[in-house]
Copies of this chain bind each other. A is one copy, B any other.
Amino acid sequence: MTERRLDPTTGEWTTFATARQDRTFLPPAGLCPLCPTTDPARPTEVPRAAYDIAVFDNRWPALSGHPPEPDVDGTALYEVEPARGAAEVVVFTSRHDATLADLPVSQVARLVDVWAHRYAELGARPEVAYVFAFENKGEAVGVTLHHPHGQVYAYPDVPPRVAVEMRAAREHLARHGTCVWCDVVAAEEAAGTRMVLGRGAVSAYVPFAARYPYEVHLSVRRHAGSLLDLDGAERRDLAEVLSAVLRAYDRLHGFSLPYVLSVHHRPTDGGDWDANSPLHVELTPLHRTATKLKYLAGSETGAGAFVADVRPEDAAARLRELLA
């Protein structure tokens, strides 16, 4: 059963994809489905003997271009729709044991280009309202395959967290006449206390009201709505800063740090978003210490109210120390 259902008590859609229960779960390295195909009798998901970076449709998609008909009928109270959109896998490298932090900056820059390409191509589809590239890294955030990879989802609506951001940006614009994202980057550079690294077009900082321990946002210093607005040098700056922050992350507790990486862009729903520059990359680790995780418990899960344990200025100072 694959379908989307609207919760009338929240106005939010849940995407159901029950076949995901059977998806490959932490296979041994020799059976990795993301490695190059070395034995034609045992093809992996990538039918090539070698590749630099690979993108393909997820075999267990939550969203797809040709979704099945829903399992239940909708009612006036309960809306149902096919799970239309896309779910792609992006394999960062053919090296099974690497992480994004291990890769040369040129390869990270190639990944940034792939994100931009998928944003353009998926965003151009009429049924797609939002393109979302992300990486789940580490078993602590639930990865089911260790080979370094991320995903791109194309949603048929603007998803809830992004809708919150867009509403806040619109209210800020109405009240102050300015782009909130531009104001935030300028404020972080002026204050300096939460800055992690600024290089060329890109600034990395711990958000003022960070919800996750050692959370870092990467923003572009100038007004930019998506990666398509960046030239090659700016994309390279983004790759360099991202790579440097990920290497600092791995020095934080002495192990390869799990995190979720999310790329936020302008929606592609045809709305008028030009006054805002939401392009940024969010890095959200879960480790509040080397041995303790931040769990999303009652306050976060039930009320949506985040309680944080790490002072953003302390997190930023620590990460600055750890930059190579």
A283 → chain B, closest Cβ, in Å? 10
Interface centre among A75, A289, A294, A302 (most CB of B within 10 A): A302
- CB < 8 Å neighbour of A305 from B159, B293, B297: B159
Report whether A135 and B298 are in contact in the complex, using a CB–CB cutoff of 8 Å: yes
Provide the residues of chain B in CB contact with A307, threshold 8 Å. 14-17, 20, 62
Who on chain B is nearest to A161 by CB? Answer: B304
Q: Give 1 or 0 for each of A133-148: 1 = CB within 8 Å of chain B CB.
A: 0111000011100000
Report whether A15 and B136 are in contact in the complex, using a CB–CB cutoff of 8 Å: no
Q: Does A282 contact B (CB under 8 A)?
A: yes
Who on chain B is nearest to A259 by CB? Answer: B301
Provide the residues of chain B in CB contact with A25, threshold 8 Å. 292
A78 → chain B, closest Cβ, in Å? 5
Provide the residues of chain B in CB contact with A211, threshold 8 Å. 7, 14
Interface stretch (choices A40-48, A178-186, A233-241, A244-252) = A178-186
Who on chain B is nearest to A207 by CB? Answer: B7
Provide the residues of chain B in CB contact with A172, threshold 8 Å. 8
Interface stretch (choices A101-109, A110-118, A308-316) = A308-316
Q: Give 1 or 0 for each of A30-43: 1 = CB within 8 Å of chain B CB.
A: 00000000000000
- CB < 8 Å neighbour of A308 from B15, B71, B130: B15
Q: Does A94 contact B (CB under 8 A)?
A: no
- CB < 8 Å neighbour of A132 from B1, B262, B298, B310: B298
Interface stretch (choices A120-128, A162-170, A197-205, A223-231) = A162-170
| A313–B308 alpha-carbon span in the complex (Å) | 36
Who on chain B is nearest to A299 by CB? Answer: B153
Interface residues of A (CB under 8 A from B): 1, 5-18, 20-21, 25, 62, 71-72, 75-78, 130, 132, 134-136, 141-143, 150-151, 153, 155, 159-165, 167-169, 171-172, 176, 180-181, 183-184, 187, 207-211, 260-262, 264, 282, 284, 288-289, 292-299, 301-311, 313-314
- State the 8 A-B residue pairs at the shortest beta-carbon distance, nearest first: A142-B295, A262-B302, A161-B304, A134-B298, A160-B304, A7-B209, A159-B305, A159-B303
